[in-house]
């Protein structure tokens, strides 16, 4: 009975909504977020307090604490769902984590374009309307060797727009070894049929000869499509025709040779021990149209580039669909600034995070792992060690290829299980994405950015040094 009275008394002490709204810090929140919104948050918090009293979890009604709860709740409600995370997985082009990071060196330029008017579609010299694609054409042509180029939303869009323009209601010849599916249900056969074309498969999974293509050519053929098998590898008894011969076959038939490269690589990374991947320049030299991604190996923003013969690109530019696939000035600015690094390969390797992470040397990785492990070793409640392991490039590129790396392994001793620790790191204010392997939380230092090691240490300190 007495106990009940205590709770009734506590319930009575809960401040009124209107009184709370007069508080100075709440007034500030109202100015920032509007009265409606804050009223909603206050009611939410007061409900929570009421519940806590009723379930005997609250012994005192504390006004400053309630105000603090309202402030925190309003900030949580306002936080955008899309937010930065720390990538401790070692997967460089992690599609779920946003693929490529832009170079911090291009921040100023992107800011200028985003936060001011620009000559996006204005020809300053002629005082008339210009084309947004014009700003990047020259650079793309210079770097790839193409006669003309165009940028759209992503590579999937680039492929669709190309096929829709060049081969509507015609047959497209594709090798059975190249009928690729990219994540997110982008399937080459379906893209062809969606565009009103017909797929004409030739050869077998492991071998397709020039004569297979030749035999498939008819009046109905609209193009030969080559698809780079960027996310899988067929090894062993394999064969495909020489690209020069394939292009010349297409030309004899009076049709274009289209090449979907997927991951766009402008620099030969085999010097760094990576397997040889086709370069954009090589594909451009042996195809009439090449399509590739801006945010895979190229290391720029999400975009799709169509590069090739001027007359074909002109046709693609006339396609009504382009309006629906066009890129914003943010994309153009970020892609232009990223591409500019490629004029000097050494600068590209240093400034473009994707390339830098791919080509990190063992000393740097070891050093990073040592620094992080030393910081964490001071914490009680975890066991830390460094092991050798592998990173993936990801993003459906360099399939099956693993880069040697250093992993920091964290094993919680008693407070938490490894599974719980992984979840706590992943669900914090600044989420830290790790690998959970062999009952340990594993951080691959390859994909950590400046300041990440410090954030990881701070978070673990909070969890373990209470
Ligand atoms: C990744 C890829 C695509 C799709 O590119 P997005 O930029 O992700 O739209 C298409 N074709 C190939 C061969 C790819 O590797």
Nearest alpha-carbon partner for 306 in 294, 285, 286, 289? 289
Output the pLDDT for position 184. 67
pLDDT in the model for residue 56: 87
Q: How far is the CA of 96 from the centre of ligand 1 (A)?
A: 15
Contact between 344 and 337 (Cβ < 8 Å): no
**Residue 375 burial (CB count, 10 A):** 18
- In 163-272, the DSSP E strands lie at 171-175, 181-182, 186-187, 198-202, 221-227, 257-263
**Residue 1 in this model has a pLDDT that exceeds 60:** no
Summarize the confidence of residues 169-184 as an average pLDDT.
88
Determine the Cα–Cα distance for residues 300 and 68; give it in Å rounded to an integer. 42
Q: How far is the CA of 33 from the centre of ligand 1 (A)?
A: 41
Closest CA to 211 of 238, 246, 237, 243: 246
Q: 436 with 419: CB under 8 angstroms?
A: yes
pLDDT of 114 > 80? The answer is yes
DSSP code of 274?
A: P
| Global pTM value | 0.90
Element (H, E) at 369: helix 362-377
Cα 332 to averaged position of ligand 1 atoms, centre (Å): 19
Tens digits of per-residue pLDDT, 353-388? 999 999 999 999 999 999 999 999 999 899 999 999
Distance 182 CA to ligand 1 centre (A): 6
Give yes or no for residue 444 having a pLDDT over 50.
Answer: yes
Which 8-state DSSP code applies to residue 394? B
Residue-wise pLDDT for 25-56, tens only, equals 999 999 999 999 999 999 999 999 999 999 88
The CA-to-CA distance between both ends of the chain, in Å, stands at: 38
227 CA closest ligand 1 atom index:
13
What percentage of the chain has pLDDT greater than the value 90?
A: 83
| pLDDT reported for residue 231 | 80
Pair 202, 208: CB distance under 8 Å: yes
Q: Decide: 87 in ligand 1 pocket, CB within 6 A.
A: no
Cα-Cα-Cα-Cα dihedral sign, residues 97, 86, 367, 373: negative
Q: How many CB atoms lie within 10 A of CB 201?
A: 17
**Which of 118, 100, 38 lies closest to 299 in space, CA to CA?**
100
């Amino acid at each position: 009975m007495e106990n009940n009275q205590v709770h009734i008394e506590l319930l009575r002490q809960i401040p009124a909504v209107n009184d709370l709204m007069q508080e100075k810090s709440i007034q500030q929140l109202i100015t920032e977020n509007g009265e409606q919104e804050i009223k909603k948050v206050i009611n939410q918090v007061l409900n929570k307090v009421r519940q806590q009293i009723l379930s005997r979890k609250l012994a005192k009604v504390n006004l400053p604490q309630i105000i603090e709860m309202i402030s925190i709740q309003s900030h949580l409600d306002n936080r955008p769902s899309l937010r930065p995370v720390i990538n401790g997985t070692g997967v460089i082009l992690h599609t779920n984590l946003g693929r490529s990071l832009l170079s911090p060196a291009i921040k100023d330029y992107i800011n200028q374009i985003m936060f001011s008017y620009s000559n996006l579609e204005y020809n300053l010299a002629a005082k008339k309307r210009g084309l947004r694609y014009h700003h990047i054409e020259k650079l793309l042509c210079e770097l790839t060797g193409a006669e003309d180029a165009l940028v759209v939303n992503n590579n999937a869009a680039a492929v669709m727009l190309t096929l829709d323009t060049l081969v509507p209601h015609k047959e497209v010849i594709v090798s059975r070894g190249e009928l690729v599916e990219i994540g997110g249900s982008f399937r080459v056969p379906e893209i062809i049929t969606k565009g009103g074309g017909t797929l004409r498969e030739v050869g077998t999974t492991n071998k397709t000869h020039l004569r297979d293509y030749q035999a498939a050519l008819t009046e109905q053929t609209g193009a030969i499509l080559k698809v780079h098998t960027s996310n899988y590898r067929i090894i062993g008894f394999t064969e495909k025709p020489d690209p020069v011969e394939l292009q010349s076959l297409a030309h004899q038939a009076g049709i274009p040779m289209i090449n979907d490269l997927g991951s766009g690589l402008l620099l030969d990374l085999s010097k760094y021990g990576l397997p040889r991947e086709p370069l954009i320049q090589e594909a451009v030299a042996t195809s009439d149209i090449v399509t590739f991604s801006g945010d895979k190996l190229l290391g720029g923003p999400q975009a799709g580039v169509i590069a090739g013969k001027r007359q074909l690109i002109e046709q693609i530019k006339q396609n009504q669909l382009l309006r629906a696939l066009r890129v914003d000035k943010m994309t153009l600015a970020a892609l232009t600034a990223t591409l500019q690094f490629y004029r000097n390969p050494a600068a590209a390797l240093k400034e473009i995070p994707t390339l830098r992470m791919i080509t990190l040397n063992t000393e740097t990785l070891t050093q990073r792992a040592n620094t992080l492990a030393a910081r964490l070793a001071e914490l009680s409640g975890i066991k830390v060690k460094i092991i050798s392991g592998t990173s993936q490039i990801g993003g459906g590129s360099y399939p099956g290829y693993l880069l040697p790396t250093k992993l920091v392994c964290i094993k919680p001793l008693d407070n938490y299980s490894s599974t719980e620790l992984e979840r706590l790191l992943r669900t914090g204010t600044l989420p830290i994405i790790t690998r959970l392997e062999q009952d340990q939380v594993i951080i691959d230092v390859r994909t950590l950015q400046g300041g990440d090691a410090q954030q990881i240490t701070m978070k673990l300190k909070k969890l373990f040094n209470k």
